[in-house]
Structure 1
């Protein structure tokens, strides 16, 4: 269901806070960044931020959970989407790679600052990981059963595909030789070959 104007405005403000916080956490580190600095970068007061996030740790949790929740949702959609397992896997890896590249600061903050997350956020992250792994593993097992994939252990394939697409956050450079779409296309090709196909569908 489409959001109303008020909900859209709130979502815009929430996302803007996350963008600025992620950039500051990325460049300065979580412990060295204050909520005053986040507010100053947004040209707002701290009470504005408190409307959405009550503590700096809550803000960090939202930054980290943004990517993991999105990845888990994408994996579930791929499992339930139309098309053959091979078609769904190719679309999923390409989409995931693009999201990872677009949100690479969020992922960098997550991997570096996870230790500062509250226990509840840690549990939510673990739940997102389980949702992601379960959905992708189910898709790979479906493809193996249908003959789309000639792979050995689906768990190994799942980990390899996940690592390949996710690690793009570390090495991708916008000013590099390949665009985000070109990198996503190549990663999708590698994923399909790793699943036992010579070329993507």
Structure 2
């Protein structure tokens, strides 16, 4: 469930099995994690785990669906809050996605385990993830149509921007020198320069004051 303030992040509230699995996947990877290890971390028996989830794949799918639902919900809330116009909407969307990738880096990092999904599960997750890409693509296409963004291919640009944001989960560390808000501000700057909209951030300030993005 997306909070009223899409910038706010409370601790994850997951079922103990999912909490145990998330920790195990992050430490050992999906392939290196056993169902027994997940059950031990969750404080349940293996039969009890199978009562809730059919198998380890089902646990990974559940975590991935939670991930994409939350990031998409936060992105939609951010875009809806933005002033009218593609540039402010792009600014808010990039901020929301980067904030998610850093604040929920343990969840977001699971995207690297997609190679282990069985074909039906991969297709389902791809369809869910496509909603986020489509949200971004619509904004970039609108910006190009209005002459507010200079992009040769809106689709390729949207994919590149989304990939750039998603990569944050792979290197972000809570102990790092930058806060999630500071990282988001820098990525907003990069995104605006990528689409040729630097200096036209509208109501959220000029690119020279992009550090004001976030609270």
Question: Which category describes the TM-score, using the shorter chain as reference length?
Answer: 0.7 to 0.9
Structure 1 ranges of 4+ moved more than 6 A: none
Distance 2:108 2:14 in 1: 21
Aligned position for 1:5: none
Q: What secondary structure sits across from 1:163 in the alignment?
A: helix
The answer (yes or no) to whether the contact 2:151–2:196 under 8 Å persists in 1 is: yes
Distance 1:86 1:51, change over 3 A: farther
Aligned position for 2:85: 84
The answer (yes or no) to whether the contact 2:53–2:59 under 8 Å persists in 1 is: yes
The answer (yes or no) to whether the contact 1:165–1:187 under 8 Å persists in 2 is: yes
- Superposed CA RMSD: 2.5
Going by fraction, where is helix more abundant, 1 or 2? 1
Distance 2:151 2:14 in 1: 45
Distance 2:50 2:13 in 1: 15
Deviations for 1:73-120, whole angstroms, at most 9, x for unmatched residues?
455556666522111111110010011112222333331x32322332
Distance 1:47 1:128 in 2: 30
Q: What secondary structure sits across from 2:174 in the alignment?
A: coil
Give me the TM-score of the superposition, normalised by structure 1: 0.80
Q: Which runs of 5+ in 1 are unaligned?
A: 2-10
Return the structure number with greater relative CO, CA threshold 8 A, min gap 6. 1
Aligned position for 1:169: 169
Decide which moves more: 189-198 or 47-56. Answer: 47-56
Decide which moves more: 27-36 or 97-106. Answer: 27-36
